[in-house]
Structure 1
Amino acid sequence: MLVEIRGFRFCSSVRMLAALVFIVLCIQPGHGQTCTEGFTYDRRARQCIDVDECRILPDACRGDMRCVNQNGGYLCIPRGLYNQPYRPDPPALPEPVHPDTSAGFSDTFLLAPPRSVEPSYPRVRGTAQCILGYTPAEDGTCNDIDECETNSHHCNPTQVCINTAGGYTCSCNEGYWLIGGQCQDIDECRYGYCQQLCANVPGSYSCSCNPGFILNPDSRTCQDVDECEDEPCSHGCFNTYGSFMCNCDEGFELASDGTTCIDLDECSFSEFLCQHRCVNTPGSFSCICPPGYYVYEDGRSCEDVNECDTGNNTCTTAQVCFNFQGGYTCLDPLQCHPPYIEVSDNQCMCSAENPACRDRPFTILYRHMDLSSGRSVPADIFQMQATTRYPGAFYIFQIKSGNDGREFYMRQTSNVSATLVLARPIKGPKEVVLDLEMVTVNNVINFRGSSIIRLTVFVSEHPF
C-alpha cells in the first residue's frame, strides 16, 4: 500500500519508514577525562556535559532533514514531519521533541493532543527505536542500559564506573584523585591530616601517636597520657607532656630503670661526715660515738661524757674521780714518801731543816691533765710560774724526767714563768708522767733550790 503525503511516498512497511526517517548518532570524544560517547569533559565544572552536534557538525543532516540535538547524540527528521502534530496509533512512530538533558539520556517523547484528522504519515507497527544508552523493552518502551553491570563501559581499571540515565561516568574512589586519566592515591600524610604520626595506605591513611600519647576519638589528634595515674614510680611521680619523671625522697637516688629508688649511702661520700663512725640507714645515716662519748646536738660530733659529774663511775669515796676525754680515772689519796710530808691534798714538802732533804726538791706539787690523741703540734698545753719571788733571784724551767720520747719541751715566757709545749703528736690511750722543775738561783746569798710539778697527762684514745 502506498500513500502520498505532500509529495512524498511512504511504504507501509517499517523498512520503508526507516528509509524516510534517519536517526544518526555521532561520537564526540572527550578531552582530558574519559566520557561516554556524545559527551565532553568540562574542566571547570569537573563533569561530563552533552555535545551539541547540530551546532558544531557541518551538514549534520542532509537534504530536507532537520537536526535535533539529543543528550549524548542527535536526530535527523524531515522538516515537515518535525513541525506537524500527530495522533498516535500504536504501534506508531512517536514524534520527537527536545528532551530534558538535565539527567543523562531521555527516552520520553511528548505527544501532541489528539486531533480528529487522520495522520499524514503511514501507521507503522513495530518495535520502538531507542537512542544510544537505552534498549527496547517488551512493552515497547526504552530501558536504560547499565553499562557498569554489563561491563560495556570504557573506564580504566583504576576508575570506578557509575551508571547514569542513558550512559555512565568514570570516577575515583575516596582517597584517590584523577591525574592524567588515572586514579592515583592521595598521600594524606603530606597535608598534615594527622597531628603526630601518619601512615599512608592506598585510598586512605592511618594516624597514630608517639609514646606517651593516645589517639583522640577524632582519629587524628593526640592527647597526653598521665602516666602518674598508674603509679609507675616507687616514690614520687611528675607528669610531663608525652612522658613522666620519677623523683625520690631525701636519702634515695633514682635507679638505672628510672622508676625505682634505691637507698643513698651517705657514709660513702666522705669520711668526715661523722666525727667518729657513720652508719647508713634507709634514706639517711646516723653517727655513733665510742664509749665515753655522746652524739652532740649537730648529730655528727662526739662530746665527752663526764662520768665524774654524772656519777657514772666506780670511784670509792676515798678516791678522787678525774675525768678526761673519753673516760675517767680514780685517783688514790696522796701519799708522801719520807722525807716528804703532806702539806695539802696535792702537795708534799721536804723541810730544809731536815738533812735528808738536802739536794732534793723543796716541794712536789701533783697535777693532772688530759690530752687528745694525735693533737696537732706545736701546742701549748701547760704553764708554770714562780709563786714566791726573792730579791736578786732568777728562775730556770726544765723537764727533769718523763720526756723519753722528746714529745715535749719547755719554753720560758718570762723570768718567772714558762710554758710546756707539745712538740710531737702522741697517740693514745696513754698515760705520761712529767716532772717539770723550776730551779731558783740567787747568787747574792749563794742559794740554789728547786720545786717539782709532777704532771700526769692522760692521752685519750680518740682525737676528740
Structure 2
Amino acid sequence: MIGVINGQKFGIAVLNTSVQQEARSGVTTLRSSISHIPASVGPLMRVLVVTIAPIYWALARESGDALNGHSLTGGRFQQESHVEFATGELLTMTQLARGLDPDGLLLLDVVVNGIVPESLADADLQVQDFQEQYVQTGPGRLFVGSTQNFRQESLLSFLRCNHSIRYDVARGPQPQLVQHLRASAISSAFDPEAKALRFQLSTALQAAEENEVGCPEGFELDAQGEFCLDRDECSGSPSPCAHSCRNVPGRFSCSCPAGFTLARDERTCRDVDECAWEADPCREGQRCVNLLGSYRCLPNCGPGFRVATDGAGCEDVDECLEQTDECHYNQICENTPGGHRCGCPRGYRVQGPGLPCLDIDECQQLPRSCAYQCHNLQGSYRCLCPPGQTLLRDGKTCTPLERSGPNVTTVSHRDRLVAWLRPRAPIPSGSYRAWVSLRAGPRALSVGRAWCPPGFIRQNGVCTDLDECRVRNLCQHACRNTEGSYQCLCPAGYRLLPSGKNCQDINECEEDSIECGPSQMCFNTRGSYQCVNTPCPATFRQGSSPGTCFRRCSQDCSAGGPSTLQYKLLPLPLGVRAFQDVARLAALSEAGVPANRTELSVLDPDPRSPFALRPLRAGRGAVYTRRALTRAGLYRLTVHAVAPRHQSVFVLLIAVSPYPY
C-alpha cells in the first residue's frame, strides 16, 4: 500500500490479513494489520475500513448461491473506490488484486490519495455495522454502494463509498443481479509505537431474497433483462435538487453554490451564516453582516451613525430628514452628529422632555407688545387699531388714515398678500409698434447662403430630411423619424410625457377600473398590470381593504401565530444596482406608533431571489437588492413581524419591469 493522506506521503506499507472461520457459527472474522504507517497519518486512517474492502469481499463467508470475490473472479480484479465524507472531503483508492502466489496468498496492491477530516485524528472513533450491495451492471462489471456510519466522540457522522469492480468477462456474472454483504463487529485502532493500523470485522455474503426481484433503487433493467443500468435522476424534470444535481451510479447528490450548504433533506440549500463562526471573519473594529450566500465586513458604527454607501466608513444618520426622530408634531427637529435635538419654533416654549411645545402668549408680556390692543395667535400675535387708524410698518403702533379725494384706501396689517390687477397702459404719443419680416431674397441665394427649413439639411444643393433618430439618447424608449422632425415612442402600457421624450407608466388599475376576481388584487406593474392572488388562509377572514386578512379568533385564538396577513405591492424598474434599498418596512401598533420591540425576519428565504431583508433598528427593516436587477419578473418576499403580544405576516410582491423606467 502506498499513498498520500492530507498531503502526507507514506512509503510502502505492508498489509497482512488473516481469516478465521468458526465451524459452528459459520462466522468469518478478518484481522488486518497495515504496518509502516506514519504517526501523522495512522489516526486518520482508522475510519477507512474501505482500504481492506477487496479483502473482506474476496474472503467473505458465502451462504446459499452467493459467490464471494475470490469465487467469482479467481482473485483477479480491479476495484476503484470513491469516498465522500459528510463534511465534503474526498478520497480515492485504486485496488488491484493479482491472484494467488505459489503459496496460496492473495496479492493486493492499494494506492490511496485524498483528504480525511483532521478532526478525526484525536477523536474516539467507533465504526458502526454497515451493508453493501453488489450490483451486476454489465459483463465483468459490478457496482457497490454503501453508507458507513461512525461515532466521533458523542456525535454520529457518516461517509459514502462507491466501488466499481472489473474482472474477467469469461468468469461469468453473479448468480443473481444483486448480492448483499454485511460487515459487523468492526474495530479499528492505530499503534503509534509499532506504526501499525489494525482492523477487525466479521463479514457474510448472501444473494438477494426471492421477493427482491429486479434491480435496486436507482437502477433499472436493461432491454435484455440481464444487467442493471444506472437511472439518471438528474435528467428528469423538475430536478430533484434546488441548485445543482450530480448523478452517480445508484443515486444522485445535490450541491449548493458558495455560501450555502445542504439542508437536512439533502436537496434544498440554506444560507451559511459566516458571522456565527467561532473565528470572526472580520478585522477588529468591524462587524460581520450575514448576507444570503455571503457576508460583508462593515465598520462598527456607533449609535446615530450608519455605514456609508461605499461600505468603507460611517456617516451620520439624519433622523430629521428620514423622519425617524422622536420630536412632537409642533417641534423643530435639528440634526446633530450621532443624534438630533427637538426644539421649539419662534413663538413657542419648551414644556419639558417628551412634551410638545407650548404657545407663548405675547399679549401677556411686559412691556406690552402693541400700542392699542393685542390679539394672541398660535405661535404669534396681532396688533389691532381703533376705527379710523391703521398700523404702521412696525406692526405695533397706529396712525390716522390719510384721505385723498372721495375714496379712502385702508391698508390693514392683517392682509399678507394683495394682488393688483391693472389695465395695460395706453401707448404714449410719439411711439409705434413695428413688425419686421426677414425673407431670403434672390441676392442671398446668389451668394451661397441657401436656407432649408428646420429638420432638413442641404445636400448636393437639395434640402433633404434630417434623421434625428440617429442621435443617441434623443428618446427614452424609441425614436421614429418623420418628415422634417421626429417622434418619440413608448412601449405598451406607457404614455409620452409632455416633454415629448420620456415615458410614464399608465396605471391601468385606476384609469381602466380593472376588476379582478375574488381574493385578488389589481397590481399595477410598470407597463402593464396583473390580477394577483391574495388568498386568506382557512382560519382567516377577508378584511375591508384588498389584500388584508384577519384571523378568526373564535376558531384558533389560542393557537398562537400571526393574527393578520397583508399583501403589499411594489413595482420596480429594470437595472437597479446591487445592495440598493428598494423599500423600508416598519411594524406599527394599532395606534400607528412604531413597535420598537418587533423583530422582522424572512420566512422561507429563496436563495435564488435577488431581494433580501436587513434590519435597521427595532421594528424597522429594509428590503435591498442582493444583485443587480437584470431580469424582469414577479418576486415574492414573505416577512414575519413578531412583537411581544402580536404577530403579523406581510407578503411583499415585487414586479421588475422589462424597462429601466
TM > 0.5 fold call: no
Q: TM-score, normalised by structure 2?
A: 0.30
User: TM-score scaled by structure 1?
Assistant: 0.41
Bigger Cα Rg: 1
Determine which structure has the larger strand proportion and give its number: 2
